[in-house]
Structure 1
Amino acid sequence: MKKSLLTLGAVLTLTVISCKKSEGGNKSIIKTDSSTTVVTDNNGKVDSVTQSSSTVDVNGQKTEKTDFVYKATDGTLVKVIFKNDPKESTVAITSNKKTFTLIKTETKGDETIYKKDDMTVRVKGDSLHLEQGNNIIPLKRTKI
Structure 2
Amino acid sequence: MILTHTVKSFYELSLDELYALLKLRSEVFVVEQNCVFLDQDDKDQKCYHLMLYKEGELVGYSRLVPPGLSYSETAIGRVITAQSVRGTGLGKVLMELSITYCHQFFGKGPIRLGAQVYALDFYSRLGFEVAGEEYDEDGIPHVEMIFWNLKDR
Q: TM-score, normalised by structure 2?
A: 0.33
Q: Which has more strand, going by share of residues?
A: 1
Q: Which has more helix, going by share of residues?
A: 2
**Structure of higher CA gyration radius:** 1
Q: TM-score, normalised by structure 1?
A: 0.35
